């Protein structure tokens, strides 16, 4: 049925006179005949099935379509070409349904243009039909007993397979030739001419189509056949084996037509999904998504910092604004998701959608506002490119705004000029300053580039060493009207040259210009014309700021007396990092929710009148009244990082930082963590601890490690003891003084540690941990029930006066303890993680190195085989890029590509990050490993320069160093997974096995690689025996010596840098920043 006819049927699906069936492409393949369906949300309501079915063979068995891409179209609009109607496309766009099969096209993350081709194939295997009649369906399928949101019942199902190949034609290939090939394939598929007949030339041409993404029935499409040839070779098998068939199309009748029941008597009709009020939703959501996607590309490629307070602050502002945009986007989509079903059922008017979109709180999502923000992001991004360009040419970067003499007193360009000359005048090398700005670079780009090349050329042509320094006046109060070149020779007077720029008024009182040489100099003339600058002015010591150059070029250290002091606004706040640990259910998340409300409100009454802050969604049971009535309180926006569905399991899924800018001087970071003592067992606890330690391993320091406990426990959980032990293998005794204890729900024990206190003291004594203090000064008792009270009040639950007074007292006491806690943490000496090494830290670092080392080992194997094959003029090269989500070889997207003489399996990020926690549901069977960087290979025309015997020696020496690290890990004691290299090697073997099973490819070189990989197990056993025989016992320093030697290898370092960048990105993704203006309680400020 075409889209028009389907939409027409959608308009009147509830008309009382007749049955108006609707058809829907399948997004949830679990439906069966008799299953109920909610057409307002496009979801299955329940999955009943009936056995009284009829099976028929479809008239049309095969369907194939070939269509081209168009960069002006939205991605979701291409679903129309494969029979997704407007209503279902809207549901997918708003994420009301999770697409599957070919519907996952919307997850495609590559550019679509006129060289993109879509090859769609569907095979209809059988039709199933439920023989029901109007008002008499209960004779076949009983009517729903309870009230239901369902509107329809599935009465027909079309079974089969469908495949969608998205192909990007390479620039070096003829579009006409590829189109002719694809049309030939499409013609054969449409006429069911299976197997497909292809010439050798056709197969070679298909193999050159490397940028291919394939979507389709989950029973067919898996990582082992992601090439077009693999799909074509298996179609016949999929057709004949019904185990591969899935529902493709549901036909559904309205329940009101099927049953003669008052439950379904209300007449109603769905509005036309093409109505302008509804249709604009898809357009607006897609527009916002595309604009933010463009922003995301730039923001995720920003450097971690600019080493400039001014630029770092702008980077922070951009990141905060970006996070606010994402939150607003999520909020808008959530409101539309809730409203659209009611609009479709005509419970509310269509204008409700317009009112939501027009809400002022989404002003930031207007096109013009995002475009303005994009301009600012582009300028900052271009600044990062400029700084990198300067660094690559050994030009130091200084931001003039960082070295203002005083933020309250206007600073002139002349002042900056004097400060710089004073700071650099006693150097051991001549210095050339280049004063410029972004505005000058834009309006006189050619001249700017000319100066840039002339300065570089001048340094290259002179035999004397010269330092070049770029001084950026982009953000300076006084506008720089033209470029300055300031030279500071070893002896003599500094010289200044001001470059003339046509049609721009020059600074009137800065420097007297030399008339003829500057005016008549041609653009290509070298920068030789100079004028004498005014005598240098040394600013008062109290007014001179500090600045941090972005490139540490060699220059003399200036005496402290003339180093400028930083302006207060440019000083970075001090980070106070606090790690929160505790058993599952102890109340870490509630503690954070309560804390942020202490910061915002002066007292509980004010919080009750206002809008309480809920950083982490809460769900809890409360009993009230004389009859102990039970109510479930749910408060806060749903968060994929918080899971309340499984009692006993940790609610918090991953570490997440909540950053509070207490004032201009202090920034508090509370790190919420998964709970210990998860009902999924000790293995889950070990994974959670590993995740926590890996997370804090990315921080520079910890100010406090806070253990949260309940005050009335009769015994300390064994998992809690294990948690402390594992943490102490990471910390050294120096960090024990940073451990503090917080007791939650302590109102019942009069704000004291209660029964838990003696148990904790006994445990510390039994474990000989007397160095960990347990005293009043590092012990704090809270009661976060006042936050639950606020949440319950917002859900219209009433409390009597006695309860209110109790919660007021609880609030006041907890605020006092919070202040005491912050004061104590500030007295603790920070524990700098980089300065101390421990057994567990070494273990974490070796685990991080595992894949970079094994990828480098495999690269050695590739290049040795190239050398053996007499292809020594070329070599395989490795590239590495960061990722910003957690994934592994199980959940990553996989492509099979040919690189030089090899076929490789390459991993990519999942096309759509619909669920940030999807990786945590992947099987942990030892056959998969985490992917923290995207590794790709290329075949480059550059000889490696090693003979066969050198390759063999390099391979064995490298592997032996890896095994020395493994030997050290084994000496640390038994562990669940003490060989980080084994799953990676086994996965490599699996990949080579999968490649060998692909038909019609030349995998001879891969077989040679496979043979070498098979020998690794034996070589490692020999290495292990040798290490045990020699009784090698490495100290931590010796282990790090090996680690540093390995990281010094360029391919390893490249991957390690990507992994560190990935971890930083993921930390930023899981970070919530509470700005200073949200903190209203002046006690904390």
Q: State the DSSP string of 598-651.
A: HHH-SSHHHHHHS----SS-EEEEEEETTTTEEEEEEES---TTB--SSTTS-S
Q: What does the pLDDT look like over 554-570, one tens digit per residue? A: 333 333 322 233 343 44
* Cα 153 from Cα 38, distance rounded (Å): 9
Report strand pairing: 666-672 vs 574-582. Answer: parallel
Residue, of 305 and 200, whose pLDDT is higher? 200
What's the pLDDT at 925? Answer: 54
* Cα 221 from Cα 121, distance rounded (Å): 13
**Cα 216 to chain centroid, rounded:** 26
* Cα 83 from Cα 656, distance rounded (Å): 41
Is position 382 within any domain?
Answer: no
In terms of average pLDDT, the best of 395-399, 417-421, 727-731 is 395-399
Give the residue from 555, 516, 550, 211 showing the smallest Cα distance to 389. 550
What's the pLDDT at 404? Answer: 72
Question: In Å, what is the CA distance from 743 to each residue of 692, 713, 781?
Answer: 21, 11, 5
- Cβ proximity of 900 and 866 under 8 Å: yes
Q: Are residues 889 and 871 in the same domain?
A: yes
Q: What does the pLDDT look like over 948-1006, one tens digit per residue? A: 667 777 888 899 999 999 999 888 765 445 789 999 999 999 999 989 888 888 889 99
What's the pLDDT at 1012? Answer: 93
- Cβ proximity of 361 and 328 under 8 Å: yes
Q: What does the pLDDT look like over 128-187, one tens digit per residue? A: 998 888 888 888 888 887 788 888 889 999 999 999 999 999 988 888 899 999 999 999
Query: Residue 433's domain is classified under what CATH number?
Result: 3.40.30.10
User: Where does the pLDDT of residue 788 fall: very low under 50, low under 70, confident under 90, or very high at 90 and above?
Assistant: confident
What is the H or E stretch that residue 937 is in?
Answer: strand 933-940
What's the pLDDT at 552? Answer: 31
What's the pLDDT at 267? Answer: 53
Give the residue from 1047, 1064, 1044 showing the smallest Cα distance to 1055. 1047
Q: Are residues 198 and 336 in the same domain?
A: no
User: Where does the pLDDT of residue 521 fall: very low under 50, low under 70, confident under 90, or very high at 90 and above?
Assistant: very low
Q: Are residues 825 and 852 in the same domain?
A: no
Q: Are residues 208 and 283 in the same domain?
A: no
Say what angle helices 1036-1047 and 948-971 make with each other, to 10 degrees. Answer: 150
What's the pLDDT at 527? Answer: 41
pTM over 0.95: no
Give the residue from 709, 719, 795 showing the smallest Cα distance to 752. 709
Percentage, residues of the chain above pLDDT 70: 82
Q: Are residues 780 and 682 in the same domain?
A: yes
Is position 755 within any domain?
Answer: yes
Q: Are residues 105 and 181 in the same domain?
A: yes
User: Stretch 471-475: mean pLDDT, rounded?
Assistant: 91
> pLDDT at residue 1081 above 80?
no
User: Stretch 289-317: mean pLDDT, rounded?
Assistant: 87
Q: Are residues 80 and 202 in the same domain?
A: yes
3-state secondary structure of 1023: helix
Is position 1069 within any domain?
Answer: no
User: Where does the pLDDT of residue 409 fall: very low under 50, low under 70, confident under 90, or very high at 90 and above?
Assistant: low
Of 834, 856, 878, the one marking the end of a domain is 834
* Cα 712 from Cα 715, distance rounded (Å): 9
What's the pLDDT at 543? Answer: 32
- Cβ proximity of 726 and 689 under 8 Å: yes
Query: Residue 800's domain is classified under what CATH number?
Result: 3.40.50.300
User: Where does the pLDDT of residue 553 fall: very low under 50, low under 70, confident under 90, or very high at 90 and above?
Assistant: very low
Is position 558 within any domain?
Answer: no
User: Where does the pLDDT of residue 923 fall: very low under 50, low under 70, confident under 90, or very high at 90 and above?
Assistant: low
Apex CA 527: angle with CA 526 and CA 532, to 5°? 150
* Cα 795 from Cα 791, distance rounded (Å): 7
Q: What does the pLDDT look like over 234-269, one tens digit per residue? A: 899 899 998 899 999 999 988 888 888 877 766 556
Q: Which two tokens stand for residue 679?
A: 């009902």
Burial 561-574 (b: 16+ CB within 10 A, else e): eeebebbeebeeee
User: Stretch 899-920: mean pLDDT, rounded?
Assistant: 72
Residue, of 867 and 558, whose pLDDT is higher? 867
Q: Which of 268-272, 437-441, 1007-1011 has the lowest mean pLDDT?
A: 268-272
> pLDDT at residue 673 above 60?
yes
Q: The dihedral of CA 525, 526, 527, 528: what is its sign?
A: negative
What's the pLDDT at 73? Answer: 80
User: Where does the pLDDT of residue 540 fall: very low under 50, low under 70, confident under 90, or very high at 90 and above?
Assistant: very low
Is position 569 within any domain?
Answer: no
Is position 516 within any domain?
Answer: no
Burial 723-742 (b: 16+ CB within 10 A, else e): bbebbbbbbeeebbebbbbb
The parent domain of residue 69 ranges over 3-264
Burial environment of residue 321 by CB neighbours within 10 A (0 to 12, 13 to 18, 19 or more): middle
Assign residue 921 a region: left if phi > 0, alpha if psi is -120 to 50, beta otherwise?
alpha
Residue, of 663 and 332, whose pLDDT is higher? 332
Q: Are residues 644 and 657 in the same domain?
A: yes
Q: Are residues 185 and 131 in the same domain?
A: yes
Question: What secondary structure, in 3-state letters, does 292-354 show?
Answer: HHHHHHHHCCCCCCCCCHHHHHHHHHHHHHHHHHHHHHHHHHHHHHHHHHHHHCCCCCCHHHH
Give the residue from 394, 363, 407 showing the smallest Cα distance to 459. 394
Q: Are residues 829 and 845 in the same domain?
A: no
Percentage, residues of the chain above pLDDT 90: 25
Strand ranges for 400-437 from DSSP E = 431-436
> What phi and psi values does residue 618 have, to the nearest 5 degrees?
-120, 150
Is position 473 within any domain?
Answer: yes
Q: What does the pLDDT look like over 798-852, one tens digit per residue? A: 888 888 888 899 999 999 999 999 999 988 888 888 777 788 888 889 999 999 9
Beta bridge partners of 707: 581, 741
User: Stretch 312-326: mean pLDDT, rounded?
Assistant: 91
* Cα 690 from Cα 707, distance rounded (Å): 17
Of 834, 862, 877, the one marking the end of a domain is 834
* Cα 891 from Cα 689, distance rounded (Å): 22
> pLDDT at residue 486 above 50?
yes
Q: Are residues 964 and 944 in the same domain?
A: yes
Of 834, 864, 891, the one marking the end of a domain is 834
Q: What integer best gives the mean pLDDT of the chain?
A: 80
Is position 138 within any domain?
Answer: yes
Q: What does the pLDDT look like over 53-66, one tens digit per residue? A: 889 999 889 999 99
Q: Are residues 318 and 177 in the same domain?
A: no
Work out how many domains the chain is built from and give that number: 5
- Cβ proximity of 887 and 908 under 8 Å: no
> pLDDT at residue 856 above 90?
yes
Q: Which of 88-92, 370-374, 678-682, 863-867 has the lowest mean pLDDT?
A: 678-682
Q: What does the pLDDT look like over 714-745, one tens digit per residue? A: 667 666 777 777 788 888 888 888 999 999 88
């Amino acid at each position: 049925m075409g889209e028009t006819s389907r939409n027409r049927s959608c308009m009147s699906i509830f008309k009382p006179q007749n049955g108006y069936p609707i058809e829907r492409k399948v997004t949830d393949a679990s439906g069966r005949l008799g299953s109920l369906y909610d057409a307002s949300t496009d979801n299955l309501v329940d999955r009943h099935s009936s056995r009284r079915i009829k099976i028929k063979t479809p008239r049309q068995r095969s369907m194939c379509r070939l269509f081209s891409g168009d960069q002006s179209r939205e991605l979701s609009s291409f679903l129309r070409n494969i029979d997704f109607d407007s209503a279902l496309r809207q549901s997918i766009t708003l994420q009301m349904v999770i697409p599957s099969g070919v519907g996952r096209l919307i997850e495609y993350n590559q550019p679509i243009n006129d060289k993109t081709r879509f090859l769609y194939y569907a095979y209809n295997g059988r039709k199933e039909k439920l023989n029901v009649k109007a008002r008499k369906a209960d004779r076949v399928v009983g009517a729903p007993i309870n009230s239901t949101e369902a509107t329809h019942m599935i009465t027909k199902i079309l079974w089969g397979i469908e495949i969608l190949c998205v192909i990007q034609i390479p620039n070096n290939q003829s579009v006409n030739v590829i189109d002719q090939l694809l049309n030939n394939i499409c013609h054969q598929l449409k006429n069911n001419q299976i197997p497909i007949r292809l010439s050798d030339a056709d197969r070679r041409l298909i193999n050159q189509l490397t940028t291919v993404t394939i979507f389709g029935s989950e029973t067919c499409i898996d990582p082992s056949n992601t090439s077009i040839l693999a799909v074509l070779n298996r179609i016949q098998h999929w057709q004949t084996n019904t185990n591969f068939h899935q529902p493709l199309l549901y036909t559904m009748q309205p329940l009101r037509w099927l049953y003669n029941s008052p439950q379904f008597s209300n007449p109603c009709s769905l509005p036309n999904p093409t109505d302008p009020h509804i249709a604009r939703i898809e357009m607006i959501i897609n527009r916002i998504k595309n604009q933010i996607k463009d922003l995301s590309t730039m923001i995720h490629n920003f450097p971690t910092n600019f080493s400039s307070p001014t630029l770092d602050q702008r980077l922070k502002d951009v990141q905060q604004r970006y996070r606010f945009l994402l939150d607003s986007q999520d909020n808008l989509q959530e409101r539309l998701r809730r409203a659209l079903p009611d609009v479709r059922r005509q419970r509310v008017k269509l204008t409700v959608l317009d009112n939501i979109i027009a809400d002022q709180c989404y002003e930031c999502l207007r096109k013009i506002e995002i475009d303005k923000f994009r301009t600012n992001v582009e300028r900052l991004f271009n600044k990062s490119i400029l700084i990198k360009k300067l660094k690559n040419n050994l030009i130091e970067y200084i931001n003039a705004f960082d070295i203002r003499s005083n933020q309250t007193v206007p600073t002139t360009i002349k002042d900056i000029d004097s400060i710089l000359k004073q700071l650099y005048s006693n150097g051991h090398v001549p210095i050339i300053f280049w004063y410029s700005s972004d505005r000058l670079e834009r309006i006189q780009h050619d001249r700017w580039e000319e100066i840039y090349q002339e300065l570089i050329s001048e340094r290259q042509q002179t035999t004397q060493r010269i330092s070049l320094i770029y001084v950026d006046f982009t953000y300076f109060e006084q506008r720089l009207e033209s470029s300055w070149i300031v030279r500071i020779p070893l002896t003599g007077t500094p010289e200044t040259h001001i470059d003339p720029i046509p049609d721009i008024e020059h600074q009137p009182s800065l420097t007297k210009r030399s008339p003829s040489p500057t005016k008549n100099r041609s653009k290509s003339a070298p920068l030789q014309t100079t004028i004498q600058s005014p005598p240098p002015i040394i600013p008062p010591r109290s007014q001179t700021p500090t600045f941090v150059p972005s490139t540490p070029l060699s220059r003399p250290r200036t005496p402290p007396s003339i180093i400028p002091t930083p302006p207060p606004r440019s000083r970075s706040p001090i980070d106070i990092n606090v790690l929160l640990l505790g058993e599952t259910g102890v109340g870490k998340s509630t503690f954070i929710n309560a804390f942020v409300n202490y910061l915002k409100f002066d007292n509980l009454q004010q919080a009750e009148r206002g809008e309480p802050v809920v950083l982490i969604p809460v769900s809890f049971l409360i009993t009230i009244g004389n009859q102990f009535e039970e109510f479930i309180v749910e408060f806060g926006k749903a968060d994929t990082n918080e899971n309340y569905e499984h009692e006993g399991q940790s609610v918090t899924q991953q570490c997440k930082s909540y950053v509070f800018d207490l004032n201009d001087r202090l920034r508090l970071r509370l790190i919420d963590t998964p709970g210990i003592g998860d009902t999924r067992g000790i293995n889950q606890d070990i994974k959670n601890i590993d995740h926590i330690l890996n997370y804090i391993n990315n921080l520079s320091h910890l100010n406090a490690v806070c253990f949260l406990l309940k005050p009335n426990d009769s015994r300390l959980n064994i998992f809690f003891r294990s948690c402390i032990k594992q943490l102490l293998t990471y910390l050294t005794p120096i960090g024990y003084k940073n451990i503090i204890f917080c007791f939650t729900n302590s109102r019942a024990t009069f704000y004291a540690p209660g029964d838990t206190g003696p148990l904790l003291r006994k445990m510390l004594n039994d474990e000989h941990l007397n160095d960990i203090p347990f005293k009043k000064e590092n012990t704090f008792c809270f009661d976060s029930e006042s936050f639950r009270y606020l949440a319950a009040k917002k859900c219209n639950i009433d409390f009597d006066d006695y309860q209110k007074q109790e919660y007021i007292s609880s609030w006041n006491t907890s605020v006092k303890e919070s202040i005491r806690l912050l004061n104590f943490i500030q007295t603790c000496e920070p524990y700098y993680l980089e300065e101390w090494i421990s057994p567990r830290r070494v273990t974490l670092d070796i685990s991080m190195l595992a894949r970079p080392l094994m990828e480098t080992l495999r690269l050695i194997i590739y290049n040795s085989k190239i050398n053996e094959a007499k292809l020594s003029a070329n070599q395989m090269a490795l590239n590495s890029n960061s990722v910003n989500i957690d994934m592994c070889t199980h959940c990553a997207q996989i492509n099979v590509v040919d690189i030089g003489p090899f076929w490789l399996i390459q991993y990519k990020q999942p096309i759509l990050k619909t669920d940030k926690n999807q990786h945590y549901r992947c099987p942990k069977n030892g056959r998969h490993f985490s992917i923290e960087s995207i590794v790709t290979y290329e075949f480059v025309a550059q000889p490696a320069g090693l003979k066969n015997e050198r390759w063999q020696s390099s391979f064995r020496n490298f592997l032996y160093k890896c095994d020395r690290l493994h030997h050290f890990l084994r000496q640390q004691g038994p562990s669940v997974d003490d060989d980080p290299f084994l799953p990676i090697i086994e996965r490599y073997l699996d990949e080579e096995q999968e490649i060998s099973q692909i038909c019609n490819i030349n995998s001879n070189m891969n077989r040679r690689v496979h043979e070498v990989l098979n020998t690794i197990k034996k070589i490692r056993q020999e290495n292990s025996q040798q290490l045990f025989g020699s009784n090698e016992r490495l100290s931590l320093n010796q282990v790090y010596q090996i680690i540093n030697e390995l990281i010094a290898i360029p391919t390893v370092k490249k991957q390690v840098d990507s992994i560190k960048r990935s971890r930083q990105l993921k930390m930023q993704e899981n970070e919530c920043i509470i700005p200073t203006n949200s903190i209203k309680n002046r006690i904390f400020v």
